[in-house]
């Protein structure tokens, strides 16, 4: 019997786990005019983002517990909307292979992937749970390399980043206190790869995630988590100082990303549901543009 060293065994197990996930999936054409739920995922998605690129429409989402990031290409077919997945479950850092983040944030804790954004030059910005920094990953052939760490300015004791939207030279964040009792949305300015200062902020209800930009709409979009005291749904605000307006009721999730036609993908973190044992499996919710 051959014994595999622990680290190598873990890498093989991780690779086999991700290989077992479908490389692509379809939202059938007959479901594109209605809200469509893809449920029963083998992972818990949290943050999500979208962009147009040379490859076409792309969506990214984090796998909270892995931790990992999926960058998917979305294409329209006669049979429906095809989502082709590409997983980033490891990267190179300082000559070493890392799972996604190079070290534990706290002794005895586990790294968990929180937010994801598309950055300049094909980079992907990822943050981890309870942290205030972005890990910047860049493609290098078929692999990914951790290139830099971009820190948010200090903002009081135990202030954590829950959601983020990178929008040109602006960065919008949803931040919460360590006890998760006070939530605030902030607008930062970027100068190169440095987050320079807060340009504005305002409080929002607890457990409101986001943030998204809908094509042709200058506002900001948010989604309520199942634990939020606000009525469930997708909310819009003209800017961070404006009140949130409920536009699409009944939707719950933890991240929102828009496609070019104005439809949206909402990531649903199932473990937050107050059900026995471990909550629900993760899910994605497709919201057609007609709902807006």
Tally of domains within the chain: 1
Q: Which of 95-109, 120-134, 153-167 has the highest mean pLDDT?
A: 120-134
3 lies in some domain = no
Q: With 90 as the cut, is the pLDDT of residue 200 above it?
A: no
14 lies in some domain = no
For 83, the token pair is 């989502």
Decide which of 110 and 72 is more confident: 72
Which DSSP category does 290 fall into?
G
For 128, the token pair is 């981890």
13 lies in some domain = no
Q: What is the mean pLDDT of the chain?
A: 90
Q: What predicted TM-score, i.e. pTM, was given to this entire model?
A: 0.91
User: Residue 196 belongs to what H/E stretch?
Assistant: strand 194-204
Report helix, strand and coil shares of the chain as percent, to nearest 5. 10, 50, 40
6 lies in some domain = no
Q: What is the pLDDT of residues 132-180, one digit of tens each?
A: 999 999 999 889 999 999 999 887 767 899 999 999 999 999 999 989 9
Determine the Cα–Cα distance for residues 60 and 74; give it in Å rounded to an integer. 10
Average pLDDT over residues 116-139: 95
119 lies in some domain = yes
Rg (CA), the chain: 18
150 lies in some domain = yes
Instruction: Match 């471990």 to its residue by tokens.
Output: 278
Determine the Cα–Cα distance for residues 190 and 166; give it in Å rounded to an integer. 9
Determine the Cα–Cα distance for residues 115 and 48; give it in Å rounded to an integer. 7
Check which CATH number belongs to the domain holding 52 and give it: 2.115.10
pLDDT at residue 17, rounded to an integer: 62
Q: What is the pLDDT of residues 41-79, one digit of tens each?
A: 989 999 999 998 887 899 999 999 999 999 999 999 999
pLDDT at residue 7, rounded to an integer: 55
Average pLDDT over residues 220-241: 97
Determine the Cα–Cα distance for residues 171 and 49; give it in Å rounded to an integer. 13
Q: HEC string of 201-251?
A: EEEECCCEEEEECCCCCCCEEEEECCCCCCCCEEEEECCCCCCCEEEEECC
Those residues with Cβ within 8 angstroms of residue 126's Cβ, 6 or more apart along the chain or in another chain: 62, 69, 100, 113, 114, 115, 116, 117, 134, 135, 137
Q: With 70 as the cut, is the pLDDT of residue 116 above it?
A: yes
274 lies in some domain = yes
Domain range for 101: 23-291
Q: What is the pLDDT of residues 273-288, one digit of tens each?
A: 888 777 899 999 999 9
Under the banding of pLDDT at 50, 70 and 90, the label for residue 106 is: confident
Average pLDDT over residues 249-262: 97
Q: With 60 as the cut, is the pLDDT of residue 5 above it?
A: no
12 lies in some domain = no
| C-alpha angle 59-62-68 in degrees, rounded to nearest 5 | 115
């Amino acid at each position: 019997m051959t014994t595999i060293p622990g680290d190598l065994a873990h890498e093989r197990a991780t690779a086999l786990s991700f290989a077992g996930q479908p490389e692509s999936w379809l939202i059938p054409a007959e479901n594109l005019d209605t809200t469509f739920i893809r449920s029963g995922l083998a992972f818990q998605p949290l943050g999500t983002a979208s962009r147009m690129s040379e490859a076409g429409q792309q969506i990214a989402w984090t796998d909270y517990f892995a931790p990992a990031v999926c960058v998917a290409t979305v294409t329209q077919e006669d049979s429906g909307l095809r989502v082709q997945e590409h997983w980033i479950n490891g990267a190179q850092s300082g000559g070493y292979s890392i799972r996604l983040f190079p070290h534990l944030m706290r002794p005895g804790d586990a790294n968990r992937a929180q937010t994801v954004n598309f950055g300049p030059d094909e980079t992907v910005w990822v943050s981890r749970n309870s942290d205030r920094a972005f890990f910047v990953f860049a493609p290098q052939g078929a692999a990914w390399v951790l290139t830099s760490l971009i820190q948010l300015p200090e903002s009081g004791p135990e202030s954590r980043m829950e959601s983020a939207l990178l929008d040109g030279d602006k960065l919008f964040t949803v931040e919460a206190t360590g006890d998760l009792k006070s939530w605030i949305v902030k607008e930062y300015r970027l100068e190169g790869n440095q987050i320079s200062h807060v340009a504005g902020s305002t409080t929002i209800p607890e457990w409101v995630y986001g943030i998204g930009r809908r094509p042709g709409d200058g506002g900001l979009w948010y989604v309520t988590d199942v634990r939020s005291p606000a009525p469930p749904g997708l909310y819009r605000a003209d800017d961070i100082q404006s009140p949130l307006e409920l536009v699409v009721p009944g939707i719950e999730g933890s991240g929102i990303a828009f496609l070019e036609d104005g439809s949206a993908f909402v990531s649903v973190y199932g473990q937050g549901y107050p059900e026995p044992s471990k909550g629900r499996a993760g899910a994605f919710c497709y919201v057609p543009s007609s709902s807006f």
